[in-house]
Amino acid sequence: MRAAGELTGRTLNYIEKLVKSGVTTKQLDEAAEAFIRKNGGIPSFLNYDGFPGSICTSVNSQIVHGIPSKKVKLKDGDIISIDCGAMIDGYHGDAARTFLVGEVDPEIQKLVEVTRECFFKGLEMAVPGNHISDISRAIEKHALAHGYGIVRELVGHGIGSHLHEAPEVPNFTSVRMGRGARLAPGMSIAIEPMINLGSCEVRILDDGWTCVTADGKPSAHYENTVFITKDGNEVLTNPN
Ligand code: MG
Ligand code: MG
């Protein structure tokens, strides 16, 4: 898990340097796949349920699961959420960042910053003895304090020899979820706030994958794979 997580985080750091105006999301995808393979990993997302890329590239109002394309060229003022997974020796890492392209509207920069903060608020609660809902509540509180919409259709998850495992790790609390699973040493989970500048409503594009905001406003994503230890937690995917 450490090796897979480390490579996943390092791939995102590498891709961040390539994010600039004029680059296509397909070029970022090819660079990520080459980097993962060169470093002894296998892209976790490639062919997952038929997904055609090694990373997800979601631009502006795209929340998650954007498909890399030669036709999508980044331009000044865009934001791009890149979700990446790498497998080593049968174990997965999963992490996402939203990067700024050139000069981005301050209101949108703030969304990106607060989404990252939401992760760290959740992380503080990811300790043995707490429940999943303690993480969810911390994220929800921080996002709502800024008046943002929290995506409800997609959630964080357990991770290990499968990319997505139980338990679900929602970014909101609900009666249905209750307190959720109790956290114990040895568990690994992906905590991943997906936060919208506008409403929480989403829709799926005709490609069957891309999840976008219904109101067309921007969305940000920040994720790391987190290991629950005896004393607290360890983030496995090089957060920055
Ligand atoms: Mg992910
Ligand atoms: Mg994930």
User: Which ligand minimizes its atom distance to the CA of 85?
Assistant: 1
Q: What is the mean pLDDT of residues 190-205?
A: 98
Query: Cα 230–233–236 angle (5° rounding)?
Result: 125
pTM equals 0.98
Query: Which is nearest to 191 in space by CA: 116, 130, 129, 141?
Result: 116
Confidence grade of residue 73 (pLDDT, cut at 50, 70, 90)? very high
Q: Is a pLDDT exceeding 70 seen at residue 240?
A: no
User: Which ligand minimizes its atom distance to the CA of 226?
Assistant: 2
Query: Which is nearest to 94 in space by CA: 56, 138, 129?
Result: 56
Annotated domain spans of the chain? 2-235
User: Which ligand minimizes its atom distance to the CA of 64?
Assistant: 1
CA of 224 to the centre of ligand 1 (A): 8
Tens of pLDDT, residues 21-38: 999 999 999 999 999 999
CA of 64 to the centre of ligand 2 (A): 10
Tens of pLDDT, residues 126-181: 999 999 999 999 999 999 999 999 999 999 999 999 999 999 999 999 998 899 99
What is the CATH code for 2-235?
Answer: 3.90.230.10
Alpha-carbon dihedral sign for residues 236, 138, 107, 61: positive
User: Which ligand minimizes its atom distance to the CA of 81?
Assistant: 1
